[in-house]
Amino acid sequence: MIRKPAPIPLRQTGEVEIDVRDVTIAFERDGGELVPAVDRVSFQVRRGEFICLLGPSGCGKSTLLNAVAGFESPYEGEVVVAGKSVTGPGPDRGVVFQQPRLFPWKSVKANVAHGPRMAGKSRAEAGAIADELIEMVGLTRSANALPHTLSGGMQQRVAIARALANRPGILLMDEPFGALDAQTRSVMQESLLRLWAQLDTTILFVTHDIDEAVLLADRVLVMSAGPGRIIRDVAVDIPRPRTIETTLGADFQALRRECLDLIRQQSQKAFEGNTDA
Amino acid sequence: MADISTSAVVPPRAAGSLAASGAKRRRDARLRQRLNMAVGLVSIPLFLLLWQLIAQAKIVNPILFPAPTVVARAAMEWVASGEFAQDLAASLKRVATGYVVGSIVGVGCGLLTGRSAFFSGLLGPLFQVLRPIPPIAFVSIVILWFGLSESGKVFLIVWGVFFTVWLSTHLGVQKVDQGLVRAAQMLGTPRRRLVGEVVLLSALPFIVVGLRTAVGISFYTLVAAELAGAFAGIFYRIQLAQQNMQTGLVFAGLAALGLISFIADRCFAMLAQRLVWWR
Ligand SMILES: Nc1ncnc2c1ncn2[C@@H]1O[C@H](COP(=O)(O)OP(=O)(O)O)[C@@H](O)[C@H]1O
Ligand SMILES: [Mg+2]
């Protein structure tokens, strides 16, 4: 996925990049009743960190990520990114969705070049940026292909390249590998880690896959079943670079165990909550 | 147990051994395809032959049902006199003008009502009530409004085309994938450019269906338009021929109408494929 094995920089955790302050987001049920999907959540992400939001399905991970992306506005509280309150989506926060959501009428290159074009770059400049990123994700040969001719994994790589094209300080990823088969997912996880090591990007990564969270993250924020709250901030002090081999180590297994127990309790709670209702 | 064969017992296949059966399959498929094509080619000649036989057998009144040969002669005279070219030009000009204007206004209104709940509420009910009124019902009022001028005829075709294009655009815009809109927004696409960059292209497959239906409609409406009094045009010629009992020319006119709208539809189908190039 990348050209050269990148040097492994000591990641320096700098100032606070994402500050989620007491955020509550509710949705209206059919009866008009307001039900919180995310309830008074606070957390901070420092520059350059790789943070995973981990929780069972429906616990409000996407809602929370969408609030940082600017697609949802909090009912209460606020999201502050790089010192400014978030009021809407913007090119400073690249988003990779679970579905690739590529523009089907644009070639791979044009998809990646879209952001720089919107930022006012000339066709040539945007094209050069796109070429570089497409090379980084290893798709140079498919640069002129239309998205629907690519496999799911390739499409998701284009989506990552596209989200990085504006050189955003923050990359938000919502279960980006959730729809991929296990082999492809594992390859994509390693590539993402290498890409992140190369770029100076803060990553907030949503997943319900415990192994994925522990493999990728500096910290795993474990969420409760709905309404979503953060119940544990698990620091993952496994040295980098990490590969698929990392998952075999004892330290990985211990952290995995810790998260698993937390998630189990939550899923159990959610299940009982549903049967009572 | 022992008689259950597994793949392990099947001897390996000799290289190229599939070629023979593959070739036979292909030959059969090609033969079937040719047969179907041949049937398609004889469809119209067969119909004409049958018609000719019935007409010559004098089973029906030959003045009311002229034989294909009579129709062909009338058609040739029509072309030779130069009137056909005039009629064709007059009709095509009306259809094209009405179609283009109706489509542009239709797409514009569809974008407006599809994107904005306010305009949808304001215009939607009005359009839905006006839409089912057949354009031909407006002929009398159009004559009062526009007299025998060209604008009246174009107006009728615009009317016929507009609602179909508006509705398909409206629906297409409402069905736009919000995920794509979000993707565009996070890439920094300004609000005012969302329509051009995402909404219009997302809705294009729907719009194209509407535009294609509108091609047919514009030719139906042409008949209504030329009913509103014209000095040239295919349907004008049909009416004139009917008044003079030139049934051969009437049929030639009908055939011309059918042929022209058929060709227009084919051309549009080819264009549509280019319009939605990513499909
Ligand atoms: N647009 C919406 N309208 C109504 N309810 C929603 C909407 N989006 C999410 N929800 C509800 O909010 C809760 C959290 O959803 P989501 O954030 O998608 O969970 P996750 O991503 O963790 O699976 C769910 O109960 C879901 O039904
Ligand atoms: Mg989700």
Closest Cα in chain B to A89: B186
Contact with chain B for residue A71, Cβ under 8 A: yes
Identify the pLDDT of residue B7. Answer: 56
Gap between the Cα atoms of A104 and B203, Å rounded:
12
Note down the domain range covering A229.
1-85+210-272
Q: Is B147 left (phi over 0), alpha (psi -120 to 50) or beta?
A: left
Contact with chain A for residue B177, Cβ under 8 A: yes
Any idea which ligand is nearest the CA of A178?
A: 2
CATH value at residue A235: 3.40.50
CATH T-level assignment (fold) for domain B105-275: MetI-like fold (1.10.3720)
Protein residues with CB under 6 Å of any ligand 1 atom:
A 27, 37, 55, 57-63, 226
B6, pLDDT greater than 80: no
Nearest CA to ligand 1 atom 12: A37
**Between vectors from CA A43 to CA A42 and to CA A46, what angle results, nearest 5°?**
155
Does A71 reside within a domain? Answer: yes
Task: Tell me the sheet residues that pair with A223.
Answer: A230
Gap between the Cα atoms of B182 and A5, Å rounded:
33
Q: Where in chain B are the domains?
A: 105-275
Which one of A89, A102, A103 has the shortest CB-CB distance to B186?
A: A89
The alpha carbon of residue A21 and the mean position of all alpha carbons in its chain are separated, in whole angstroms, by: 19
Does A68 reside within a domain? Answer: yes
Helix ranges restricted to H, A137-168 = 152-164
Other CB atoms closer than 10 Å to residue A162's CB: what's the count? 31
Which amino acid makes up residue A38? V
Residues 6+ apart with CB under 8 A from B148: B228, B229, B230, B231
Please report, rounded to a whole number, the percentage of residues in chain B having pLDDT higher than 90: 68
Gap between the Cα atoms of A37 and A228, Å rounded:
6
B180 to chain A: which residues are within 8 Å by CB? 101, 103
* Preceding omega of A227 cis (within 30 degrees of 0): yes
Closest Cα in chain B to A147: B278
Q: What is the ipTM of this complex?
A: 0.89
Testing ligand 1's pocket by substitution, the residue of A59, A95, A207, A223 carrying the most ligand atoms inside 8 A of its CB is A59
Identify the pLDDT of residue A228. Answer: 87
pLDDT, tens digit only, all 277 positions of chain A: 444 444 444 444 578 999 999 999 999 988 888 899 999 999 999 999 999 999 988 899 999 999 999 999 999 999 999 999 999 999 999 999 999 999 999 999 999 999 999 999 999 999 999 999 999 999 999 999 999 999 999 999 999 999 999 999 999 999 999 999 999 999 999 999 999 999 889 999 999 999 999 999 999 999 998 788 999 999 999 999 999 899 999 999 999 999 999 988 887 777 777 654 4
Contact with chain B for residue A120, Cβ under 8 A: no
Residue with token string 């504006």: A166
Closest Cα in chain A to B194: A118
Contact with chain A for residue B201, Cβ under 8 A: yes
Gap between the Cα atoms of A168 and A202, Å rounded:
9
- DSSP E strands in chain A: the ranges are 16-28, 34-46, 50-54, 76-81, 84-85, 93-96, 170-174, 202-207, 219-223, 230-235
Asked if A39 and A67 touch (Cβ cutoff 8 Å), the reply is no
Contact with chain B for residue A103, Cβ under 8 A: yes
Express each pLDDT in B36-93 by its tens digit: 888 888 888 899 899 888 888 888 888 888 889 999 999 999 999 999 999 999 999 9
Domain count along chain A = 1
Residues 6+ apart with CB under 8 A from B199: B111, B114, B115, B173, B176, B181
Shortest distance between the Cα of A233 and any Cα of chain B, in A, equals 28
Tokens encoding B11: 């001897």
pTM for this structure?
A: 0.84
Gap between the Cα atoms of B166 and B220, Å rounded:
18
Edge-to-edge strand order for the sheet containing A16-28? A34-46, A16-28, A76-81, A84-85
Express each pLDDT in A84-136 by its tens digit: 999 999 999 999 999 999 999 999 999 999 999 999 999 999 999 999 999 99
Which one of B177, B186, B201 has the shortest CB-CB distance to A93?
A: B186
Identify the pLDDT of residue A71. Answer: 97
Residues 6+ apart with CB under 8 A from A124: none
Does A161 reside within a domain? Answer: no
Gap between the Cα atoms of A75 and A66, Å rounded:
13
